Amino acid sequence: MKGELLKIEHLTASYGEEPVLKDILLGIGEGESVFLVGESGSGKSSLLRAVLGMENLTVVSGRVLYDGKDITAAGGKQRRELLGREIGFVPQNPAGSFNPLRRYEAQIRDIMGSHGLTWDPEEVTEILEKLDLKEGKKLLRMRPYEMSGGMNQRMAIASAMLLKPRILLCDEVTSALDTTTAARVVKELGMLCTQRKTALLMATHHLGIAARLADRIGIIKDGRMTELGDTDRILTAPREVYTKQLLMDVPRLGRGR
């Protein structure tokens, strides 16, 4: 296994009384892509939230380590400098994650400025082109509410990748998109991460998508990581009944389409 960039050690967390994450154990290496697969409400998004340190989720026990440092309870400036710059995030609802009434240019400028990076329109349009968005300059002058879900999604990916994070967290990036667009966006995202050697931790309910892009797959059910292993192994020799069920739900699943 490669050097571990992000390590989650025996993490248990809750929103109130009942824990939504139970004793999660996961390590992600530099440049590696790990997909968390589970139904909605299984806890896969909560795992991402725990890594991001979102306020309403309380860590009961366990730790989150980034680059060897314990960031479980990191707050304030330390957390802010980590978010975006080191740990990128593409949320489930990208349109809602930007100020709907401000031009993308202004918002991306702020994001970069907050991390001491300089704004370069060429760099932005280049990334947008890689994500299949032409006329990037025009798009940057638009506001989120004026754009379609797919466009906003790619804007969110682009703005995350611009900061050159070492790991990118994605939460159900496909839920706002139709199936064809979803497949394309995820493929583009995967290529971008491989090119830049960015590690990827993606939560999805779609085992088929994970099968194509993941180095490793973790199956999450009721807040527990029921199975974790290399993609090939999970697909060809699943150990848990639940994993087998999930595999059966994916029609005509074969690697490499």
Binding site for another protein (CB under 8 A): 16, 52, 54, 80-85, 89, 91, 93, 96-102, 106-107, 110-111, 113-115, 145, 159-160, 163
> Cβ closer to another protein: 124 or 234?
124
Among 202, 206, 186, 200, CA closest to 247: 206
Sign of the dihedral defined by the CA atoms of residues 24, 189, 199, 104, in that order: negative
* Residue 203 Cβ vs another protein, minimum distance, rounded to whole Å: 14
Pairing assessment for the beta strands 167-171 and 58-66 based on DSSP bridges: unpaired
- Residue 120 burial (CB count, 10 A): 11
Question: Is 51:6 a contact under the CB 8 Å cutoff?
Answer: yes
* Residue 242 Cβ vs another protein, minimum distance, rounded to whole Å: 30
The enclosing H or E element of 246 equals: helix 241-249
> Cβ closer to another protein: 103 or 224?
103
Euclidean distance between CA atoms 115 and 83, whole angstroms? 10
> Cβ closer to another protein: 27 or 91?
91
Take residue 136 and report the two structure tokens written for it. 């990037």
* Residue 135 Cβ vs another protein, minimum distance, rounded to whole Å: 22
Give the end-to-end CA distance of the chain in Å, rounded to a whole number: 27
> Cβ closer to another protein: 54 or 191?
54
* Residue 98 Cβ vs another protein, minimum distance, rounded to whole Å: 6
* Residue 57 Cβ vs another protein, minimum distance, rounded to whole Å: 12
> Cβ closer to another protein: 160 or 246?
160
Place of tokens 């304030």: 76
